Structure 1
Amino acid sequence: MLTNHNIELTSAEIANLWSNYMSDTLAICTIGTFLSHVDDTEIRSILEFAMQLSQAHVQKLQSIFTEEQHPIPDGFSVNTDVNKEAPRLFTDDFYLFYLQNVGKMGMEFYTMGLSNCARLDICEYFTECLNESARLLNKATEIMLTKGTFIRAPFIPVSKKVEYVQKQSYIAGWFGHRRPLNAIEMSQIYFNLTQNQLGRTLLMGFSQVAKSKQVREYMVRGRDIADKHVEIFGSLLSKEFLPSASAWDTMPTESTVTPFSDKLMMFHTATLNAIGIAHYGRALSLSPRRDLGANYVRLTAEISQFAEDGTNIMIENEWLEQPPQATDRDQLAST
């Protein structure tokens, strides 16, 4: 005889569901604002597709939290975090670039969420989300290719034969002969370059419209960090006579009217910081050349300090929603 067991959610499952809820409520606010200004019909269709996905996710997540008797996070709301009267802040091309990167980030997040799950229903949920993110990425890429706005990573000659590393100089980067970038290193540099271009444009827009002087100055600082990182990654490619992705650039409009709350923009920036640190860590692990490793370590430290300062701003303003956490046993013992 089979017995039904009520298997509780693990900490990993709670963490991923909580993070998913925060991200999708933010997406509803952000994409909804984009939809109110988009002109291009093809870009509108993919914005609508992304909005439908996020709305379905939030509904499903609310159901899971309710069934498991977990409090539903506050997240973000169009009623409190969006100014529906604000004019356009970003261009249609940026909307498409943004959505393509949302697809990339969604695939990374849902893969991690799926790999840490045990309960079958949660596994199935993250599997579905992973497939949806892949569809979003592919749709966005297809439209970018059609419009001629997709810039491919650099091309390299086809190898004539399989080769093995023969000398320790393969990992050298500062002194003596420095070998050319390999395809994996090149891929990581290009990826991080385009991610920083997205961050630069987003933070440039946020710096124009944030209500708080403290937040505006923080966004300007982030814009300048992203710009510097774009230059560093671009120079690594140009030294190898490889093209950088300068054509990805899309600037915000000249609007100074905020479409989003400062709380939402700070959380959005914190999310980009966390993703950027993760990407640099991955690139570090895949880049044997010592000069590349040193660059990633230095740039990661810079983002980490920027992220910490952003966290302090959010705490000061009571904008930082706390994830579920373990019981403080010391506190219980002292009561």
Structure 2
Amino acid sequence: MTEKQALSSSELGTLWMTYQQKTMVQRIFEYFIEQADDKRAKEIMQDFHMKVINYIEDIKNILKNEGAVIPVGFTEQDVNTGVLKLYDNMFDIMFLRLNVEISMGLHTLHLNMAYRKDIVLLYKELTAFTQSVYDECVDYLQEKDVLPRPPAVSMPKTIEFANGTNYMSGFNLFSEKRALNTVEVAHLYNAIETNILGMQMITGFAQVANEPEVKKYFIKGKELAKKTVTDYTQLFLQSDIQPPSTWGANATDSKVSPFSDKLMMYCTSMLCSFGLGSNALGTAFSLRNDLPLKMVGTAKDVLTYGRDGGKIMAKNGWLEEPPQMQDRNDLTK
């Protein structure tokens, strides 16, 4: 029989990342399921939660068979299901939609880093699973009329090519900026929508954080999300485009935390990483030259904010280190 290949460094690293993310959402949705009022929403979350636990066990078994230590991730100590609601109805499914949106990108990326057949299969299954949950969330939220659709647009009747460099104008004070194209609208809309939900999430975190330094950090994050929404909304309004808005998913007035500061900090860090990736795509596909500058400025702020969060996590002993490569310099001493 052919001996199974050992895990590569890339595969070990991506499994470690997946374990961290899945154990985090496992704990978050233990709380959301317990608090759910809507039967259909509860069923969606319960099915998601059960399958996440199964995938966590799959990763554990792979690591055990390789003789690797199981990461700590997030445990039952990181959640308190018996407290008051921290968010209004609809936040749970809107958060689930955002989480699987992030997961779809991560699993596809990790699939491209996998070589061993069982790891490839794992990420194929995870990709299909998250896509299915995403569809369920979108259908549910549209039925409840809380998920605004991107702005309407007239269908093109002719094909156009840019004539000269005026198409890219955006800085010249004496020339009129062209209207946003649909590719630019798509990336800006997604950024506004994500930051609106992120602002509500981090508002709740700021209300219930235990450590003063963590509370201050979340307040700073709320203002950063608010600034991003304001800046990108202004770009929409300049082109007479209606920005997204929703009546649901707000934080309540609860001041009792359902989650540990460690979990809330990690969740915020994950959203920062997602925001950086989305900004990079938006910058790459924006042809009006004022837009990349705006997006790069936002990315710089998010990167600084994320690094500050990492320092807080390390300072408090919450930053679990990924598996390390051998330090050859140390081994040869």
TM-score (norm 1): 0.96
Q: What is aligned with 1:279? A: 278
Tell me, in whole angstroms, the C-alpha distance in 2 between the residues paired with 1:143 and 1:160: 34
User: Which of 60, 69, 72 matches 2:70?
Assistant: 72
Q: What is aligned with 1:316? A: 315
Q: Relative to structure 1, is the Cα distance of residues 246 and 223 closer, same or farther in structure 2, using a 3 angstrom cutoff?
A: same
Tell me, in whole angstroms, the C-alpha distance in 2 between the residues paired with 1:243 and 1:53: 38
Amino acid at match of 1:245: P
Tell me, in whole angstroms, the C-alpha distance in 2 between the residues paired with 1:129 and 1:316: 33
Quick check: 278-287 or 162-171, which moved more? 162-171
Q: How far off is 1:92 after superposition?
A: 2.1
Tell me, in whole angstroms, the C-alpha distance in 2 between the residues paired with 1:5 and 1:220: 53
Tell me, in whole angstroms, the C-alpha distance in 2 between the residues paired with 1:332 and 1:10: 21
Tell me, in whole angstroms, the C-alpha distance in 1 between the residues paired with 2:248 and 2:164: 39
CA contact (8 A) 2:180 2:239 kept: yes
Q: How far off is 1:84 after superposition?
A: 2.7
Amino acid at match of 2:181: N
Tell me, in whole angstroms, the C-alpha distance in 1 between the residues paired with 2:54 and 2:225: 33
Q: What is aligned with 2:97? A: 100
CA contact (8 A) 1:43 1:92 kept: no
CA contact (8 A) 2:196 2:226 kept: yes
Tell me, in whole angstroms, the C-alpha distance in 2 between the residues paired with 1:99 and 1:250: 12
Q: How far off is 1:158 after superposition?
A: 0.6
Q: Relative to structure 1, is the Cα distance of residues 325 and 30 closer, same or farther in structure 2, using a 3 angstrom cutoff?
A: same
The number of residue pairs the alignment matches comes to 331
The answer to whether 1:51 aligns with 2:49 is: yes
Q: Alignment RMSD, CA only?
A: 1.1
Query: Deviation per CA, 1:214-235, whole angstroms, max 9, x where unpaired?
Result: 0000000001100111111111
Q: What is aligned with 1:304? A: 303
Percent of aligned positions that are identical: 28
Amino acid at match of 2:98: N
The answer to whether 1:14 aligns with 2:12 is: yes
Quick check: 93-102 or 324-333, which moved more? 324-333
CA contact (8 A) 1:185 1:287 kept: yes
Tell me, in whole angstroms, the C-alpha distance in 2 between the residues paired with 1:55 and 1:141: 23
CA contact (8 A) 1:194 1:248 kept: no
Q: What is aligned with 1:135? A: 132
Q: How far off is 1:85 after superposition?
A: 2.3
Unaligned runs of 5+ in 1: none
Q: How far off is 1:154 after superposition?
A: 1.0
Unaligned runs of 5+ in 2: none
CA contact (8 A) 1:96 1:144 kept: yes
Tell me, in whole angstroms, the C-alpha distance in 1 between the residues paired with 2:126 and 2:247: 27
Q: 1:82-231 counterparts in 2 under 5 A?
A: 82-175=79-172, 176-231=175-230
Amino acid at match of 1:303: V
Q: How far off is 1:287 after superposition?
A: 0.7
CA contact (8 A) 1:169 1:177 kept: no
Q: How far off is 1:201 after superposition?
A: 0.8
Task: Provide the secondary structure at the position in 2 that maps to 1:243.
Answer: coil
Tell me, in whole angstroms, the C-alpha distance in 1 between the residues paired with 2:130 and 2:81: 27
Quick check: 175-184 or 27-36, which moved more? 175-184
Task: Provide the secondary structure at the position in 2 that maps to 1:246.
Answer: coil
Query: Deviation per CA, 1:292-326, whole angstroms, max 9, x where unpaired?
Result: 00011100110111111111101110110001121
Task: Provide the secondary structure at the position in 2 that maps to 1:247.
Answer: coil
TM-score (norm 2): 0.97
Q: What is aligned with 2:25? A: 27
Tell me, in whole angstroms, the C-alpha distance in 2 between the residues paired with 1:59 and 1:326: 25
Tell me, in whole angstroms, the C-alpha distance in 2 between the residues paired with 1:169 and 1:8: 55
